[in-house]
Chains A and B, each alone.
Chain A
Amino acid sequence: MKTNNNNLSDRKLLIIGIFISIGALYLIRLFSLQVADKHYKQLADNNALRFVTQYPARGKVFDRNGNLLVFNEAVYDLMVTPKQFIDAIKKDSLNPFDTATFCHLLEIDKKSFIERMNKAKNESYFKPSSFMTQVPKEDYAHIAEVLHRYPGFFFQTRTVRHYPNAIAAHTLGDIGPISQAEYEKDDYYGKNDYIGKSGIEKSYEKELRGVKGLKVMMVDVHNREMGSFMEGELDREPIAGKDIYLGMDAELQAYGEQLMVGKIGSIVAVEPSTGQILAFVSSPTYDPNLLVGRERAKNYSTLQKDPMKPLVNRATSGTYPPGSTFKTVVGLIAMQSGSITPATTFHCSGVGSLPIKCTHSHGPNPDFANAIMNSCNPYFYESFKATINNPKFGGIKEGYQYWKDMTYKMGLGHKFNTDIPYERPGNIPSREYYDKMYGGQWNSVTIRSLGIGQGEVLVTPLQLCNIAALIANEGFFYPPHLIKCFGDTTAIPEVMTTKVDPGIDPKYVRIMKQGLRTVFSGPAGTARRYEMKDIPQCGKTGTAQNPHGNYHSNFIAFAPADNPKIALAVIIENGGYGATWAAPIASLMIEKYIRGYTTREDLEKRMMEGRISYKNER
């Protein structure tokens, strides 16, 4: 073959050809990967950079006088990167004695240590997982001191809410882990974020949460951070959430909660001139600090199982028959529609009255003032009847429609939709409801209970309180709301500062107001025992029949009469007569708010220590 060498020499061409073709093929491939295809560039960005969220401090919450109600407290989650710890054990750089000391420090036993480590390992071997959440700050300090001895462990700071006064749990609400639905609704959140779950934490979530910051870190595949990307050029500092000042008076709120101990029910107090809620008591209540920290889940479940349902905010989601307090509404509409005048009298036969008996003893032909003071049932039934039968409406159903529309304008049968979460609308039945119920055949007798706030009518304590405010204001109200102002100059939503006028002539409301004054001041006033000489109070008792046993004790009130500073509604479930529990509690609240202190020690003691026994769970 050697003679044939020249021939074979040509074979170099094929070999060189192979080299060049593969080179060319690779160049084409590289061109397509590197230049033509932008896909890999994007992948790379997600790969090597970690976008670390910088959580802003959540806004603080103050009461109307600047007392701190909610603030943030740093908590420390102990994190572990299992690989680093296990590597250290393998290298014998950590002896068993150290681990035992560590367990002792963490106040856990060896078994728990291993369980936690295995759990972390299952989550990720390379990435840090939580080993122990929310280490109390007392423990944090001395653990952190020695933590460097335990490879793979580090602390991560988070903040949790703290409530110095442990009041107003329902109002302040709580924050908790975001749900899937919440997560999907708003792209602000990450999967492990916390979000306001109830109370103002929920209604002002957007303001309180602030703006997240961002830190772009370079990381390697083992999740180790290798420093700031581009010297932090892309980083954004977090912006702290807005502080919120509530209309609530912390002292009054605490006082109300004290008064409500041992009773189920609610107190709602507003400032009539603004609609700001001064006190928002739902009883039984709980310490809001229970829903913070490591024990949150456990405590939540305990509270949830409590038969007294302390988690329910009865001020907004408890719906009650208003009883006689509703006579204010009935009376105002009757006067406004021209169906009665203040001079109108109706006959009352006391317990023998038909179709509704009277529970109070008074003269046989009361006028409006007398009827309000004595809470005469027949008078208000007749007023209600006169309204819906008023010939100017051209029929009872049309008359009823007018009446219902008026109650709607006065804030009943619907939510206020301000900043109070979980409102229930209450119930004022519609025409159609009765048509359906009675096959179209109904009249004022059929629905007579409405005239005295019984039957189908249901209100929340919040709605009832608003009626008191409406009368206090002589005809208008501001939708009740929790917020007073933000910590900065941001205006509060317009709906809360817009005056609502249901269209009742102030002269009628003034007559009503005078009537309510006599409830305290009149010789037969149902709340006369709680009259204070220097603070003229107005009010109306209610003793509401209900399917849950003894009467609910209801009361609406405001004071001082000529320049009301506070309007409130009190409902004590199964408390009996309105004058027994609700009226004195309301009166004490008024005194406390206006004076800043109380003078009727015996009454106060009796109310605070009074217990109502609840046999049936609700």
Chain B
Amino acid sequence: MNERNSIIGKIDWVTVLIYLALVIIGWFSIFSAKYDEMHPSIFDLSQVYGKQLIWIGASLLIGFIILLIDAKFFNAFSLWIYIFFLASLFVVLVYGKATKGATSWIDLGAGIKFQPSEFAKMATALALAGYLGRLDIDLQKRKNQIIAAILVLIPMALVLMQNDTGSAIVFVSFILVLYREGFPGTGWVMVAGVVAIFLFIFTLIWSQKIMYIILGCLLILTLTYYLITKKKGIVKMLTVFACMFVFVFSVDYAFNKVLQEHQRNRILVLLGQLDDPKGVGYNVHQSKIAIGSGGLTGKGFLQGTQTKYDFVPEQHTDFIFCTVGEEGGFLGTSIVVLLYVALLVRIILLAERQRSTFSRVYGYSIAGILFVHVAINIGMTIGLVPVIGIPLPFLSYGGSSMLAFTIMLAIFVKQDAYRLNVL
């Protein structure tokens, strides 16, 4: 009992309260989105909102148990947990049932489906933290760099093989933690990533020819600058330009050959190159209508006409933010966005105060994972990101994601609570 009391005193209540606020907002949003007059109780277990309550209860219970488990357990078993979930990803590949084009479920019977990819992110975070937390690891060493990268890339590849592009993209978030831990070149990779995204977008909007001309002009300007100032590094600079040319050259090919048709369409819709509000753009169009119709203060709880009547597909899962937007208005959406930003910043600040590398790396990892989820999910509902089917942490309906995110966060809260015990 003494143990339990001390936990309550030590855990970071800011994080927990934000978490609880988001979970409750999510539950009420699901209730509103799937409200059925025949089942007016939010506790009705035959409805998704009742089920979500079960998942919330289960998540809180497991979260609480995690807080009771020895903090060192996760570090010690991180590799085994990682291996377990890699194995389950394999199982999904072999036996998983196809759901919406992505093979990511294992049917556990009794109507419960298990989505290992949700847990694989957490497991990867644990494994990476466990690896980088070892005293003999130095990210300046090539061998250590390769292993760190492989730890992230294996589950990413497995998820990608399930055709679950959305979840695979989440693994990109590990670049943030690697950057923080001093993995050489990650800063440049991030910059290159941003540049690549812009090049990609502008190439699709303006065509390759115009991009060549623009890049050519930039090249001439830069060359002139270098020649006049006689600065060094002209070769590096030329390499960068060469890469950009090659990238632009390959955009068309990549776009048409690598991406699948629905992915291409989603991107074109986003870029305004394809206007089809009843077809491919339907989800986003309806989603924007729902959110946009909320106004400043929203239509009020249970008053949303857009989300309540199935205009927005996947409204209680991937598009739950629409309900928030429609019924809560800008007030509701800004509260949710601010809660997420606060949570992310809080996790980073907590991570920085950790004594152990394991805890810090783990904290940065989950911050990154949560960030990508939030950014992509909300971004897609407001038409800033192509439609990518990943849940909104703590809000979207779904047992796997609710459990996975809760466990993920609970482990970190536990690590943080016992940071002072680390020598």
Contact = CB atoms under 8 A, between A and B. Distances in A.
Interface SS majority for chain B: helix
B7 interface: no
A12 B176 CA distance: 9
A19 B341 contact: yes
Chain B interface residue bracket vs A: 35 or more
A27 B337 contact: yes
A33 B291 contact: yes
A221 B310 contact: yes
Interface string A184-221: 00000000000000000000000000000000001111
B344 interface: yes
B339 to A, nearest CB: 10
A49 B305 CA distance: 8
Contact of A8 (B181, B288, B293, B344): B181
A438 interface: no
Given A1-B140, A33-B382, A47 B291 contact: no
A23 B337 contact: yes
Interface in A365-412: none
Contacts of A146: none
A578 B176 CA distance: 108
A29 B351 CA distance: 30
B364 A221 contact: no
Nearest to A40: B292
Contact of A34 (B180, B291, B310): B291
A298 B344 CA distance: 72
Contacts of B330: 30-31, 34-35
A482 B330 CA distance: 63
Interface string B309-323: 111000000000000
A16 B345 contact: yes
A234 interface: no
Contact of B309 (A16, A33, A39, A218): A218
| A19, A23, A37, A226 — most chain B CB neighbours (10 Å) | A19
A41 B293 CA distance: 4
A48 B182 contact: no
B296 A26 contact: no
Contacts of B96: none
B244 interface: no
A36 to B, nearest CB: 10
B384 A26 contact: yes
A15 B180 contact: yes
B345 A19 contact: yes
Contact of A221 (B181, B182, B309, B344): B309
Given A1-B138, A4-B182, A19-B341, A26 B382 contact: yes
A27 B378 CA distance: 11
A237 B259 CA distance: 54
Contacts of B166: none
Given A15-B179, A47-B311, A220-B310, A23 B340 contact: yes
B151 interface: no
Contacts of B176: 15, 18
Contacts of B326: 44
Interface string B344-370: 110011011000000000001001000
A44 B378 contact: no
B289 A20 contact: no
A111 interface: no
A11 B179 contact: yes
Contacts of A15: 176, 179-180, 348, 364, 367
A12 B348 contact: yes
Given A15-B176, A16-B348, A35-B330, A30 B290 contact: no
Given A16-B348, A19-B345, A34 B138 contact: no
A437 interface: no
B345 A37 contact: no
| B295, B306, B309, B367 — most chain A CB neighbours (10 Å) | B309
A222 interface: yes
A12 B143 CA distance: 25
Contact of B289 (A9, A18, A47, A227): A47
B292 A19 contact: no
B386 interface: no
A44 B382 contact: no
Nearest to A25: B384
B139 to A, nearest CB: 6
A22 interface: yes
B326 to A, nearest CB: 8
B309 A220 contact: yes
Interface SS majority for chain A: helix
A23 B293 CA distance: 21
B400 to A, nearest CB: 25
A26 to B, nearest CB: 5
B291 A30 contact: yes
Interface residues of A, number: 42
A19 B291 contact: no
B131 to A, nearest CB: 15
Interface in B366-387: 367, 371, 375, 378-379, 382, 384
A26 B337 contact: yes
B334 interface: yes
A43 B293 contact: yes
B294 interface: yes
B410 to A, nearest CB: 21
A247 to B, nearest CB: 52
B103 interface: no
B288 A33 contact: yes
B154 interface: no
B345 A226 contact: no
B367 to A, nearest CB: 8
| A16, A20, A48 — most chain B CB neighbours (10 Å) | A48
B393 interface: no
Interface string B275-300: 00000000000101111111110000
Nearest to A43: B289
B26 interface: no
Contacts of A48: 305-306, 308-309, 311
B52 interface: no
Interface in B161-182: 176, 179-182
A9 to B, nearest CB: 6
A19 B288 contact: no
A499 to B, nearest CB: 60
B274 interface: no
Contacts of A23: 337-338, 340-341
Contacts of B375: 22, 26
B381 to A, nearest CB: 10
Contacts of A22: 371, 375
| A37, A40, A43, A218 — most chain B CB neighbours (10 Å) | A40
A258 to B, nearest CB: 59
Given A1-B138, A29-B384, A30-B382, A47 B306 contact: yes
B325 interface: yes
Given A23-B338, A30-B337, A43 B138 contact: no
A34 B325 contact: yes
B292 A43 contact: yes
B399 interface: no
Interface in A219-234: 219-222, 226-227, 229
B333 interface: yes
Contacts of B349: 12
Interface in A31-61: 31, 33-35, 37, 39-41, 43-45, 47-49
Contact of A37 (B292, B340, B341): B292
A217 to B, nearest CB: 10
Contacts of A45: 293
7 contacts: A15-B180, A30-B325, A33-B291, A44-B326, A48-B305, A218-B308, A219-B309
Q: Which 10 A-B residue pairings sit nearest by Cβ, starting from the closest?
A: A40-B292, A44-B293, A48-B305, A220-B309, A23-B341, A220-B310, A34-B330, A33-B292, A19-B344, A43-B289
Given A15-B348, A26-B382, A44-B306, 6 more contacts: A1-B140, A8-B181, A22-B375, A35-B295, A40-B292, A47-B305
